[in-house]
Structure 1
Amino acid sequence: MASVATPLPSQLPLSQSFPDGLGQNGGRVDLANVNRLRPSSKSLPLEELRQRLREDGYLFVKGVIPREDVLDARENYFKAYADTSLLAPNTSPRDGIFNPSTQADLHKGIGGQGLPADPTEAKILVDAHTDPKYRAFIEHPALTQFIRDLMSWEEHVVLGRAMLRHNVPFGDGTGIHYDKLFLRGGSGFFLTAWVPIGDISINGGGLCYLANSVPLGEAIEQDFTNRAAVMTPEDRISAFNVNMMAGGMLSPSPQDFASAHSEFGTHKWLVTDYEAGDVVFHNPYSVHASGRNEDTSGRIRLSTDLRFYDKSDEGIDKRWFKIWTPDDGL
């Protein structure tokens, strides 16, 4: 099968490339409210990397994992869909190009959107989470060593509930949230690693971060905690209790959400082009969401969400030790 090599957009001003703004679930974000993520080299001194994580609430590091290893993981994932209608005919699973003759809403992925309509695709998505090649990939030594060095951990734990997400062009992405919403069952600090599995153009559905949003996330969670005081212990730690929106999300509109919290300063959505091998690490209270996949080449956005703890931490959310299943309630 032919391989499609589509270059990422250039670093032209966003206004020249996307005059109508950038899409997220719930609407478009005006470019006046958009900036770029700050990239970091993995070769920077560790203390500088730690300082950036503290200051920004995220750390976008280029080339953490060897590129070919990431593309191998992408190919392995999409090979399983060879006999479905997900991929464009005569294209390589390594490229993961969407079949434009099918409807985006038939190919949903996890993240509040539900499962694919085709039972075969749904089973492939669920089974992918126990695939030995995927389980080995999320423990890639280049990734885990970087995390241990960054966090000064002797040993780490990666939670078993790691999730694979594929977002087809013009399908739904993941809504606005911070990760602590879903991991309230433990008091310990965890570090999220968001790993794009393949190149993702700036309008290809990659993760977008709300700038300087950790204090906002902490304030929202404190408000939720106060209002949950009368709930049962089980409801208090649920991301789906009565205080929350559907799917544990914070708002349907990215622009309205940023405007509604102006007391925390000027909040802009931060975006970037991601390349295979890049990783973004972020604080549990950093507010983020998927962009809308409007990639002009039809590239499917594939990524995985990983959460890491210090192995010696007694505050791990043990509910997340189990591998994800659609009915796990988390």
Structure 2
Amino acid sequence: MLTSNGYELVESPDRLGQLTETPDEERSDRDALWRRLRAQGYLLLRDQLPTEEVAAFRRFYFETLAPAGVTRSGTGPEDGIAGPGPIDQATYRQALFGHVVPSVEYDRLCRLPSIAGWFGWFLGDDVHLHRRKILRHTRPGQNGIGTATQAHYDLVYLRDGTDRVLSMWIPLGDCPTTLGGLTYLEGSHRVVLAEEAQGRLKRPAASITADLPGLADAHDARWLVTDYRAGDVMIHSAHIIHAALDNVDPDGRMRLSTDIRYQRASEPIDWRWQQHWHDRDGL
């Protein structure tokens, strides 16, 4: 059973499906990748990143947050096992926003050749990495409304720049569906593009809904899921609707992920997104 914010996804063939992996023969064919991105709204690239780099950052993240009680005492930081007690919020916030987010380790991860170099090749131009990069870890058992990322499309949060910004979602460790990875509403980018063309802009920035089954019915579409592995990445347009599943891992493992954004440096940039991420930045 898959849930998001406590809502149970309908697992019938017309409401739930699998994300399509990008075939190996297209990985070095830029035109083929663009056709796929336009058709699907996303690219699932398996084994895009060196797993040792992903593992090193995962270890760094949980080691840094361990003093706040984020991880269980006596377990390895790379395991990401949730601690049993309450989190020391002051220590947590200082560790996350004061150390991890502005760290050279995080910046280096986001500028790996398999990321920055790939975007430069794919976009065929000098590229710009948005400084506001978001890290999330989710604990198992959190399944009420507001605990998982609700259905949304990224453009509602990036109104002041180009609509051709691309997001990369990176699972920082293996992330089967039970751990709460991203799910995408099939074909929704075409609907959103049409609504945007008609000037129906969503302001202020807001999620669409926590009710994923209801949204699937409204669109007569499927939610697409997969078991992600360390090294995989998802690239998606600013128009496709996506959300996160609940973490129901029976062993207490936390999901850790980051989402970052690249665009052509020559196109308009949303300057509100050029400061380090903070959960009180108003965005």
TM-score, normalised relative to structure 2: 0.91
1:290-319, CA deviations, whole angstroms, 9 ceiling, x for partnerless residues?
111112222211111111110111x21111
Aligned counterpart, 1:146? 118
* Alignment partner, residue 123 of structure 1: 94
Once the 2 structures are TM-superposed, how far is the Cα of residue 136 of structure 1 from its aligned partner? 1.3
What is the identity percentage for the equivalent residue pairs of Structure 1 and Structure 2? 32
Report the Cα offset of residue 177 of structure 1: 0.3
**2:65 and 2:96 in contact (8 A); partners too:** no
For the residue of structure 2 that corresponds to 1:184, the secondary structure is coil
Show the 5 A alignment for 1:78-117. Answer: 78-99=62-83, 101-102=84-85
> Which amino acid letter does the alignment assign opposite residue 130 of structure 2?
L
Match of 1:167 among 101, 116, 138: 138
What corresponds to 2:258 in structure 1? 304
- CA drift of 1:144 comes to 1.3
Q: How many residue pairs were aligned? A: 274
Distance, in Å, in 1 between the alignment partners of 2:219 and 2:21 is 26
Matched AA of 1:182: Y
2:175 aligned with 1:178, yes or no?
no
Mapping 1:153-302, distance limit 5 Å: 153=125, 155-171=126-142, 172-221=147-196, 225-226=199-200, 238-239=204-205, 248-262=206-220, 267-302=221-256
Judge conservation of contact 1:201–1:295 (CA < 8 Å) in 2.
Answer: no
1:70 aligns with 2:28: no
Structure 1 gaps, min length 5 = 1-20, 108-116, 229-235, 240-247
Residue 146 of structure 1 and its aligned partner are, at CA, apart by 1.5
| Partner amino acid, structure 2, of 1:74 | R
Equivalent residues of 1:203, 1:294 under 8 A apart: yes
Counterpart in 1 of 2:281? 328
TM-score, length of structure 1 as denominator length: 0.78
Question: In the alignment, is the contact (CA less than 8 A) between 1:42 and 1:64 conserved in 2?
Answer: no
Contact kept, 8 Å, 2:175 with 2:228, in 1: the verdict is yes
What is the CA–CA distance in structure 2 between the aligned matches of 1:87 and 1:227, rounded to whole Å? 41
How far the C-alpha of 1:227 sits from its partner, in A, is 7.0
Alpha-carbon RMSD across the aligned residues, in angstroms, is 1.9
Structure 1 window deviating more from structure 2 (39-48 vs 200-209): it is 39-48
